[in-house]
Structure 1
Amino acid sequence: MSMNHGGTRVRRSVAMLCAVLWALATMWMAGGVAHADGTSTKDSTHSSASEGGSSTPKPAKHDKPTADPTAAGEGAATGESNTQKSNTEKSNTEKSDTEKSGTENSDTGKATATDPPTTRGTHKHGTSRPAGKPKTAAATTDTTSSPKSDTKPDTKADATPAATTPADGDAAPRTTKAKTVTVSAAAATLAAAPTAAKVATASVTPSATASVPNPIKQIAQFARQMTGLANDLALIAVSLVNNLAAAAASTIGPKPFFGLPYNIAKTVAGTTAIAAKLLDGTPLDAVSEGPYKVNYGVPDLLAWLNPVKSPAGANLPFTGMSADHPLPIILLNGTSATQGVNWSVGAPALANAGYTVYTFNYGNTTTNPYFPVQATTDIRKSAQELSDEVDRVLNETGADKVILIGHSQGGGIMPSYYINNLHGDEKVSQFIGIAPSNHGTNVDGLVDLKNIPILGPALAPLIYRIVDLFGAAWTQQVVGSPLQQETYGAGDTRPGVLYTTIASKFDWVVTPYTQQALAAGPNVTNIVLQDLYPNYNAGHLGIVFSAPTWTAVLGALAANPAANVAPTTALAA
């Protein structure tokens, strides 16, 4: 009995000792977990100085694995969601901790062209251009960007800004971030002529890991897209009334019937012009000084009646390049648009700023040059037409390179195909895309209907064939099309070319709007106009006629050293 009792006391003592050790171990582990949580939630990103938008990421642990990127909400690009699925490759003995890429704080200056052109001899013929002293301000680039990037260098860019409110923090389809441009308060108000833009870069917050779709954010973004659609439809209606009223006033004149019909037409034209400006975010006092009239915010829809007619300020008889701006600009219209309509605002604005401007129609599915629907044929064919036009302009002007500015298809995949696949990077100094169709569109989610069981796979091919009857360019711009990989498979951009994208969150054609951004790089600037103008509300069509867009364009041009001759100061004797 005594031995058994002694053994029992020993066993109890050992058990108590083990319990104490276990409690101490548990308290130590709890302290360690609390420390890890504090690290991951407060200081999970470690900044390091970098150049060119790349750095070595520093991993930080999370307490839970991130969600599958295929479930990402708005901005998730088809076919690219596997860039963050590295969690499944970890050992079963490890906890499911994701790696979060480090934050980069890069201070880069103005992007400069690697091969500044030299002006060759000019070919003088025809009448001279109207003289107009352009007013342009040299842009200064004060970079404060701190773009984040994930560990995959070639992923596409997200255009969601750092200053976005939580309601606007949309999930992006790509995680590599490019810098964003902001303008000074004076330029943002556009109180004076919008030919002066003081450009500075700002940070863009990346989405280092995929996030679970947020229904509230998705609904909010869809509402913005529908607002952009409504704005564009209303813009077309009031602009058409404006065009007709202005034409009537010009035809009638002020004399018949004591000027009553003339004054009525003028009043209607003025009222509808104000309405158009409000619809596409143009300040009512926006003006462009120079020899050409610029009706900011109001497109010339009657130009559709004569597709071969050039817009004001474009395709003038060549008499020599401007001494201040030695590179010619070629404007590229969007799908189904014509040069006269698409650039009725942009061409005269650029000409007033002193630039040599060219426009042309491309992508005609017929042999009739007066066909009112352009830019709808196979994009590869259209890119070859662009190649021919670039060679023609370079031959006429004697310039070494050109500047491309385009809208929608003309600001996205078509010129990108030319630059990336047809050696266009050797002849292009700068490429500015307005609402560009860079990485395809889900057409406000309609493309996702093909995923509906049974019905979707059966109807999608039929719908695509019907759409292709109106031109291959329509379906080639859908997200996931084979042409997307063909164009961007080796990277979005090419060295030696300066890139700028200008997007609106209210875009209802190239959706989600984050598809429009290009992958990060020292030669890439992605602009979201709502970051500069919080109340900006233009959609896919209105953006190309609004004054804020052309302020951003002129600012990007001013930041290109190859497009501007720096003023020289005479040395004192």
Structure 2
Amino acid sequence: MRRSHAVRSLIAAGAALVGLTATLGAAPAGHAEDGAGDLPVNYNFLLGAIAAGAKLDADPPGGNDWTCRPTAAHPRPVVLVHGTLGNKNTNWQAYSPLLKNNGYCVYSLNYGVIAGTPPPINQFGGLGNIKDSAQELKVFVDQVLAATGARKVDIIGHSQGTFMPEYYAKFLGGASKIKKYISLAPLWHGTKGTMPLSMIAKGFGIAEDDFPVCAACVQMGNESQFLARLREGGLLVGNIEYTNIMTKYDELVRPYTSGSEPGMRNLVVQDYCKTDFSEHFEIASDPVGAQLVLNTLDPAHPQPVPCMVVLPFIGPLGG
């Protein structure tokens, strides 16, 4: 019933297209595609990821400029943390140039690559043990702080990238190095989506940390030992400011409310735009969510959150 309701809503949204011409194609404030020197921002996750696949080992547009120095307006560098089977380029074709255009020093890494995998498979991350991935993030954040002279970073994560940094914050000393922690499609209560893998691990007596191909997938299960340890004593660490941005149409984080956590700021994109049908992947390129992120990073200068028809996987209708 929920899926049929979503389809009916999508059809209705398409029928209302004429009435939305004032907002169709709107981008987050601060991004002007025809502005001098601005990098293009790809709000279509699927096409952006496919295009980035031609250069899997490349940095995303505007990212990993090690000569960048934070400004008084934006004193902290932003570290982007991709999701499972993603990488720094495929995952961040929207956020990396968007943040650069708005004056941020922005960085991203590949993590969780299975050791010994050959090219180009070795460019797909988020598969290894989350504990090891958190250590990789720790090293990367230290590199960013050393290069920029900043004392703290802001983190924006997608999917597993909302989950793994918490291990770094809680157990590897990251709490003192993170100011804002923004999560796109978070899973603070795990997900039922990985239940088949969890059942296989239990059935064959395979430890979560040692599960082949994707140990992280099992660790993100809603009944995993990893999750139980992560949540023990609470998730709020130090003075970190947590913001969660969810979509009701998330097909991988089940239920989507797994991303909501007491004591954190919890946002659902459909509360700001009912015609936003972003799912688990498009949320990483969604212009509605992107403006929420920009307003969270710079709350002193909030801009209106745009509303338009946003289709699953392929982004804003008409632009």
TM-score (norm 2): 0.79
Give yes or no for contact 2:159–2:187 (8 Å, CA) kept in 1.
yes
Q: CA deviation at 1:469?
A: 2.0
Other structure's SS at 1:417 match: helix
Provide the C-alpha distance between the structure 2 equivalents of 1:536 and 1:328, rounded to a whole number of angstroms.
29
The amino acid of 1:541's aligned partner reads F
1:461 aligned to which of 203, 214, 221: 203
Give yes or no for contact 1:283–1:547 (8 Å, CA) kept in 2.
no
Q: Which residue is 1:375 aligned to? A: 126
Unaligned runs of 5+ in 1: 1-218, 232-277, 451-456, 562-573
Give yes or no for contact 2:197–2:217 (8 Å, CA) kept in 1.
no
Q: Which residue is 1:430 aligned to? A: 180
Q: Which residue is 2:266 aligned to? A: 526
Q: Which residue is 1:392 aligned to? A: 143
Q: Which residue is 2:295 aligned to? A: 555
Q: CA deviation at 1:319?
A: 4.3
State the structure with more CA Rg.
1
2:41 aligned to which of 294, 305, 309: 294
Q: CA separation of 1:507/1:319 partners in 2, compared to 1, >3 Å: closer, same or farther? A: closer
TM-score (norm 1): 0.45
Does 1:543 find its partner at 2:310? no
Give yes or no for contact 1:361–1:374 (8 Å, CA) kept in 2.
yes
Q: Which residue is 1:352 aligned to? A: 101
Give yes or no for contact 2:40–2:97 (8 Å, CA) kept in 1.
yes
Q: Which residue is 1:497 aligned to? A: 240
Q: Summarize deviations over 1:109-155 as a string: whole Å, max 9, x none.
A: xxxxxxxxxxxxxxxxxxxxxxxxxxxxxxxxxxxxxxxxxxxxxxx
CA-based RMSD = 2.9
Q: Which residue is 1:406 aligned to? A: 157
Does 1:320 find its partner at 2:69? yes
The amino acid of 1:326's aligned partner reads P
Q: CA deviation at 1:223?
A: 5.5
The amino acid of 1:544's aligned partner reads A
The amino acid of 2:83's aligned partner reads G
Q: CA separation of 1:512/1:458 partners in 2, compared to 1, >3 Å: closer, same or farther? A: closer
The amino acid of 2:55's aligned partner reads N
Give yes or no for contact 2:82–2:91 (8 Å, CA) kept in 1.
yes
Q: Which residue is 1:471 aligned to? A: 214
The amino acid of 2:218's aligned partner reads T
The amino acid of 2:184's aligned partner reads I
Q: CA separation of 1:469/1:315 partners in 2, compared to 1, >3 Å: closer, same or farther? A: same
Unaligned runs of 5+ in 2: 11-19, 302-319
Provide the C-alpha distance between the structure 2 equivalents of 1:414 and 1:301, rounded to a whole number of angstroms.
25
Other structure's SS at 1:406 match: strand
Q: CA separation of 1:536/1:442 partners in 2, compared to 1, >3 Å: closer, same or farther? A: same
Q: CA deviation at 1:430?
A: 0.7
Q: Which moved more, 1:385-394 or 1:318-327?
A: 318-327
Q: CA deviation at 1:536?
A: 1.5
Q: How does 1:110-189 map to 2 (within 5 A)?
A: none
Q: CA deviation at 1:468?
A: 3.0
Provide the C-alpha distance between the structure 1 equivalents of 2:56 and 2:249, rounded to a whole number of angstroms.
28
Equivalenced residues, count? 277
Q: Which residue is 1:447 aligned to? A: 195
Give yes or no for contact 1:329–1:404 (8 Å, CA) kept in 2.
yes
Give yes or no for contact 1:492–1:519 (8 Å, CA) kept in 2.
no
